[in-house]
Amino acid sequence: MIRSLVAATLIASLLGSATAQTVRRNIPADAPAGKIDAATASLIQIDGKVFKLAPGARILNQRNLTVTPNMVGSGQPARYSLDAYGQVNAVWLVDPDDRSTAAPVQRTPGTN
């Protein structure tokens, strides 16, 4: 009886703390904004311009989770950064809250 009560209390506290965590998205202030038109394993089209994805490029969704290029919908608003060779090395999929400021955005899980 006591074990089940302790286990239930532990699970409840873990679930409560998980929903209260804030996801910090470090989107650089100078990251340009655009709409992704198409994405493949090595290329990405943003605002009609085709870019090569840099080796190790990451695409992060609104919850700051890595997604593959085939999971990105056409017309998806995003912010991105380029490396020294003009290749896209990071993409942040955004929603209207993220696009309203150029500063890094703080989000709470479950608000998407």
Total number of domains constituting the chain: 1
32 lies in some domain:
yes
Q: How many residues does the chain have?
A: 112
pLDDT value at residue 103: 47
pLDDT value at residue 102: 46
CB of 47 within 8 A of CB of 77?
no
Question: Is the confidence at residue 51, as pLDDT, over 90?
Answer: yes
- In DSSP terms, 107 is beta-bridged to 23
Structural domain that includes position 94: 23-107
Q: Choose between 6 and 106: higher pLDDT.
A: 6
69 lies in some domain:
yes
The pLDDT tens digits of the residues spanning 85-100 come to: 999 999 999 986 665 4
pLDDT value at residue 77: 94
Task: Report the pLDDT averaged over residues 69-89.
Answer: 93
* Token digits of residue 73: 């919908």
67: CATH: 2.40.50.320
